[in-house]
């Protein structure tokens, strides 16, 4: 059973894995485990199942980067917001929240690629000093740990 814990730990450290083990006997890559096509040992030339990491998930460090504007900027609405995505999810959108955290109401802006811009509309509810939080969403769901908060002054119709 000790080998199962090692396999689970390797899977967790690799951010997921594709190999599975049903728990009976040692895992297929444990020392002394029988190879898929014969007995264990150096004379065995059968294939050995290996643990493969899952594709990397978007992370806060590279998932969403707002290249313009910057905190402290003043923008006249409508205003362009330039972005770069480290990984493009399925049906990507930039979700914008009013406030410093991704809670409450939001507005989704669909994006078409790894870099480009979205346009904040000339909406009287946006005018004033605001903290806007920009987050990456995919398939209509917020992707955790991808948010960027900016303190902005927005001018527009009042």
Q: What is the pLDDT of residues 59-73, one digit of tens each?
A: 445 699 999 999 999
Helix H or strand E encompassing 153? strand 148-155
CA-CA distance, 94 to 109, in Å (whole number)? 5
CA-CA distance, 32 to 37, in Å (whole number)? 14
What residue spans define the domains of the chain?
1-55, 64-155
Q: What is the pTM for the complete model shown?
A: 0.62
CA-CA distance, 93 to 67, in Å (whole number)? 16
* SS3 label, residue 120: strand
Domain at 64-155: CATH code: 2.60.40.10
Query: pLDDT per residue over 91-145, tens digit each?
Result: 999 999 999 999 989 999 999 899 999 999 999 889 999 999 999 999 999 999 9
């Amino acid at each position: 059973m000790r080998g199962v814990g090692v396999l689970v730990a390797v899977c967790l450290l690799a951010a997921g894995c594709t190999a599975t083990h049903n728990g009976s006997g040692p895992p297929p890559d444990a020392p002394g485990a029988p190879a898929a096509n014969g007995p264990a040992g150096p004379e065995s030339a059968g294939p050995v199942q290996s643990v493969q990491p899952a594709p990397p998930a978007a992370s806060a460090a590279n998932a969403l980067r707002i290249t313009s504007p910057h905190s402290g900027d003043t923008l006249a609405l409508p205003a362009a917001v330039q972005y770069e995505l480290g990984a493009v999810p399925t049906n990507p959108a930039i979700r914008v929240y009013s406030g410093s955290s991704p809670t409450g109401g939001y507005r989704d802006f669909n994006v078409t690629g790894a870099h480009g811009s979205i346009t904040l509309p000339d909406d009287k509810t946006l005018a004033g000093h605001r903290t806007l939080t920009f987050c990456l969403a995919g398939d209509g769901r917020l992707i955790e740990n991808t948010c960027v908060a900016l303190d902005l002054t927005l001018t527009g119709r009042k």
